[in-house]
Amino acid sequence: MVRIGAFLVGLFFAGWLLVSFLMGAAAYISEPPAPTVEHEFHLAPKHVDFSFDGPFGKYDKAQLQRGFQVFKEVCSACHSLKFVAFRDLEALGYNEAEVKAIAKQWAIKTPDVDPKTGEMTGRDPVPADHFPKPFANNVAAAAANNNAIPPDLSLMTKARHHGSAYVYSLLTGYREQPAELLKKFPDAKTPEGLHYNPYFANLNLAMAPPLTAEGQVTYGEGQPKPTVDQMAKDVAAFLTWTAEPKLENRRTAGLATIIFLLIATGLAYMSYQNIWADKKKKA
């Protein structure tokens, strides 16, 4: 009796879910949702090639150093890298002395406490420190950025779909609102203080175009010309490294694991054939 009751209760809920689904599908077909400006004018990230693409891709250390330079001279004024320490830069090809110099010359001091007075103070960062935040707190960050808090960029390329291409597209995607958009959605004009960018989720963001002109950052001798496109690509590569510093090791370990499993599978099959060959003949 209990089983019959449980079956009937389950059948009722299953039927109710089916009816709800059918009603929702019918409503969607008869009254489809109104198109939104974001749905029609938001663009997928541009296609861009990086050296670390694909299962055998590797980081280009020269590009990562250029990307770090762009971050240091342009992005670090507003954005933080709270999960990256200065000493991690050694993986980009900087030696210990260069890392110490970068940390000491960093424009933002590391918060500290004066052991004599107990008061908050600032000191020059050391290699063991993480990159200091550009603002003391979120209130100060919002006050300096049109009430928008600049996000931490440590894991940005993992937090966005096609993260590397997304960062590149966002940095190179600023433009005037298209006339078609304003004609179709006259109330969707970009508010004053915001900037139109079709690669951003809601099309308008508080960050002004950070890369505005060729030569904004000076690269060393023998490096590519620092065009806006090149700088955007370089900093996107650097932010991919901050999010996945062990990318190359992970791929190497994965490839070694696949090779091991293939060899082990072959050996296991040959062992099976050898052990059971006589048994099958006798059977």
How far apart are alpha carbons 80 and 154 in whole angstroms? 7
Q: Residue 234 CB: number of other CB atoms within 10 A? A: 27
- Rounded CA-CA distance 235/69 in Å is 8
Q: Does 1 belong to an annotated binding site? A: no
Give, to the nearest 10 degrees, the angle between helix 228-243 and helix 61-70: 100
Instruction: Indicate the residue type of 45.
Output: P
Query: Residue 85 in contact with residue 128, Cβ under 8 Å?
Result: yes
Binding residue per annotation — 79? yes
The Cα 18–Cα 211 span in angstroms is 53
Closest listed residue to residue 200, CA positions, set 267, 268, 151: 151
Whether 78 has a binding-site annotation, put simply, is: yes
Q: Please report which helix (H) or strand (E) contains residue 120, including its range.
A: strand 120-123
Side-chain-facing half-sphere of 64: CA atoms under 13 Å: 20
The response to whether 156 counts as a known ligand-binding position is: no
Q: How far apart are CA 26 and CA 32, in angstroms?
A: 10
Other C-beta atoms lying within 10 Å of the C-beta of residue 188: 19
The answer to whether 177 touches 186, Cβ cutoff 8 Å, is no
Separation of alpha carbons 74 and 65, rounded Å: 14
Interatomic CA distance for residues 19 and 240, integer angstroms:
46
Annotated binding site, which residues? Answer: 75, 78-79, 207
Annotated binding site for heme c, which residues? Answer: 75, 78-79, 207
